[in-house]
């Protein structure tokens, strides 16, 4: 298989490690029979696995990784982990390669041949020199941590993170807070700790709009009061005129009883109407004032404060109204 490998991009060919494809072909030989025998999911897993092998041979390691991972999701055969680790290795994701190789050894156990185990142990020794261990502390728990935009854990950490050596972008995010980012430089074998101070939450601006109060009640009351007052004034003027006419009739000689009686009735009627309208207008003033004060009290942010004050010369009411 190694001699027949094709590559679509020379840059990919330069990244393939010597002996990787031989090991990959051996993993395929180990995995293909059991996957094909495990029903529909096993058959689908086998298809993805074979696609991954073809892509790996062509140097498309990122897509090959996706295919290997999908095959493992469908049918978790430990053999697939070897291929996943190899794809990570070619992508220079040394941290994931190391962790996946370790998982491969743990899951495979005694089923892994001594020759293959020795080979993987050599790979692990190389990878240990290409990774670092990073402890991330945050000022508040529950922060989501990302390394180079990939989510890895939530604080507080149970153990240090295994991170590929190099420049790493570490970001901590707490819901409702601005993210905090730190770039760290890690050499192979480093053990470092980085502390991230979570920014304070931005102040929340709440715009409270007071409900629009209807002014119809007080307005109608004042208009009606004004109309009653105008009517009282008008009838009062007419009543004064009728009273003056009555005086003229009474002062004339000889007096006309009928004219005097009519003038007296007219004067009494308009005087009565004036009294009724005036009394109603006065009551309307009271109602209008009450409605207006209540409306303002409802619109005010707080109830009026008032207190009784005793002065040397009397008692008063003080406060804001």
Inform me whether the pLDDT recorded for 114 exceeds 50: yes
Predicted TM-score (pTM) of the model is 0.56
Phi/psi of residue 263, nearest 5 degrees: -65, -40
pLDDT at residue 169 greater than cutoff 90 = yes
* Residue entry with tokens 């707080």: 302
| pLDDT one-digit tens code per residue, 208-254 | 665 665 667 777 877 777 787 887 787 778 777 777 776 776 667 66
Q: Where are the domains of the chain?
A: 10-128, 131-196, 217-320
Distance CA 148, CA 96 (A): 13
Return the pLDDT at 3: 31
Q: Read off the pLDDT band of 26 (50, 70, 90).
A: very low
Q: Higher-confidence residue: 80 or 310? A: 80
Does CATH number 2.60.40.1120 belong to domain 131-196? yes
Q: 191: closest CA among 156, 165, 211, 213?
A: 165
How do residues 137-149 score in pLDDT, each as one tens digit? 999 899 999 999 9
Please report which residue ranges of 177-215 form alpha helices under DSSP H.
none
The whole-number average pLDDT for the span 273-299 is: 75
Distance of alpha carbon 179 from the chain centroid = 14
Mean pLDDT of 267-271: 76
State the Cα torsion 78-83-89-92 to the nearest 10°. Answer: -110
Question: Tens digit of pLDDT for each residue in 12-21?
Answer: 333 455 455 5
Q: Which of 181, 153, 155, 154 is nearest to 168 (CA)?
A: 181
What confidence category does residue 30 fall into, taking pLDDT thresholds of 50, 70 and 90?
Answer: very low
The listed CATH number (3.40.50.300, 1.25.40.10, 3.10.20.30, 2.60.120.920) that belongs to domain 10-128: 1.25.40.10
């Amino acid at each position: 298989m190694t001699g027949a490998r094709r590559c679509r991009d020379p840059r990919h060919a330069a990244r393939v490690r010597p002996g990787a494809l031989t090991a990959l072909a051996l993993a395929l030989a180990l995995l293909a029979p059991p996957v094909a025998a495990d029903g529909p999911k096993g058959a689908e897993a086998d298809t993805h696995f074979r696609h991954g092998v073809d892509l790996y041979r062509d140097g498309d390691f990122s897509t090959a990784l996706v295919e290997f991972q999908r095959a493992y999701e469908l049918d978790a055969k430990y053999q697939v982990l070897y291929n996943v680790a190899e794809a990570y290795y070619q992508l220079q994701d040394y941290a994931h390669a190391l962790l996946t190789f370790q998982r491969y050894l743990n899951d495979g156990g005694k089923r892994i041949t001594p020759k293959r185990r020795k080979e993987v142990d050599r790979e692990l020794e190389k990878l240990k020199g290409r990774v670092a261990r990073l402890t991330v502390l945050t000022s508040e728990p529950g922060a989501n941590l990302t390394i180079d935009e990939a989510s890895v854990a939530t604080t507080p950490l149970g153990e240090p993170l295994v991170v590929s050596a190099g420049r790493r972008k570490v970001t901590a995010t707490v819901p409702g807070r601005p993210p905090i980012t730190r770039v760290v430089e890690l050499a192979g074998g480093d053990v470092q700790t980085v502390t991230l101070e979570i920014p304070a939450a931005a102040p929340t601006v709440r715009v409270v709009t007071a409900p629009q109060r209807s002014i119809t009640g007080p307005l109608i009351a004042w208009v009606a009061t004004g109309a009653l007052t105008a009517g009282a004034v008008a009838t009062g003027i007419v009543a004064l005129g009728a009273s003056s006419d009555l005086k003229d009739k009474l002062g004339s000689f000889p007096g006309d009883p009928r004219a005097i009686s009519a003038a007296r009735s007219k004067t009494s009627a308009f005087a009565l109407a004036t009294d009724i309208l005036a009394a109603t207008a006065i009551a309307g003033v009271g109602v209008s004032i009450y409605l207006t004060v209540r409306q303002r009290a409802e619109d005010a942010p707080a109830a009026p404060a008032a207190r009784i004050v005793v002065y040397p010369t009397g008692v008063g009411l003080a406060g804001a109204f």
